[in-house]
Amino acid sequence: MACVFEERAPGCLDSVSDWHAGLAYFDSSVAATHDTLQSLKKLLWQFWNIEFAGAGEAAVAKESVLPLRVLANKKSGCMGLSWLALMVAESRGLPLDAILLPGHVFLRYGGDENAVNLEPNRHGFSYTDEEYLDKYRNGNWTGLEFKPLEMRQFIGLAAFDIGNLYLENDIPHALTWYRMAEEFFPEYPGIDVNQTIAKNRLPNSI
């Protein structure tokens, strides 16, 4: 899906040298240390050297959301870094999930009592669930928080974020992305809310 979002051929990862170099680095690190979690962290924040793009608009720009652009530019918000990490996890069979919070996602490695939270905007710093709850207590909660996102839901959330980029200045484009978001993540209430806002801004002639 990363290739599709960037309007590239479905197998575009095959031609991304940074991707292949990163996987080779990860494999070498795991072979030497037998520690998949630390190898993943080293890959993301040392070998690929991905930095937080900054708060506000910089964190939700396309360059910070789409994983191949993140890989190229070395700047990311929570969605782009998480997406890239999930791609590595899928490729290497790692127990990694994206967890939703109001206006944010973080990563969770492992399961049950051994799970470790990784903050994508702080080089994998491990906040507890209680610390996240306190930090986002005043956010817009939906009932979907603190549950692992299915990949389809994560993709829908990414489409929703990109749709939001066009909400002020390009309503048709925004609606296109919101329709994709709705297809993948229909249970997320923000999609319907923002679709309605976008439709209400359409000229009567459209």
- The per-residue pLDDT for 10 is 83
Give pTM, 2 decimals. Answer: 0.94
What was the pLDDT predicted at 142?
94
Q: What is the pLDDT of residue 205?
A: 42
Amino acid 57: pLDDT = 82
| Mean pLDDT of all residues in 26-41 | 98
Report residue 206's pLDDT band, with 50, 70 and 90 as the boundaries.
Answer: very low
Tell me the pLDDT band of 111, cut-offs 50, 70 and 90: confident
* Alpha carbon distance 45, 38 (integer Å): 11
Using 50, 70 and 90 to split pLDDT, how confident is the model at 130? very high
Separation between Cα atoms, residue 111 and residue 163, nearest integer Å: 32
Q: Which helix (H) or strand (E) is 41 found in, with range?
A: helix 36-42
What number is the average pLDDT over the span 158-174?
Answer: 94
The pLDDT score that the predictor gives to residue 58 is 82
Rounded CA separation 38/25 (Å):
12
pLDDT tier, 112 (very low <50, low <70, confident <90, very high otherwise):
confident
Give the residue-averaged pLDDT of 78-95: 97
- C-alpha 201: how far from chain center: 28
Pairing of strands 51-52, 75-76: parallel
pLDDT at position 41: 98
Residue 96 near residue 109, CB atoms below 8 Å: yes
Structure tokens at 55: 């708060």
Q: Kindly indicate the confidence band of residue 135, based on its pLDDT and cuts at 50, 70 and 90.
A: very high
The 10 Å Cβ neighbour count of residue 200 is 8
Q: If residue 24 lies in a helix (H) or strand (E), which one and from where to where? A: helix 17-33
| 153 neighbors 183 (Cβ within 8 angstroms) | no
pLDDT at 29 (0 to 100): 98
pLDDT mean across residues, the chain: 94
Residues 124-145, mean pLDDT to the nearest whole number = 96
* Rounded Cα–Cα distance for residues 159 and 154 (Å): 9
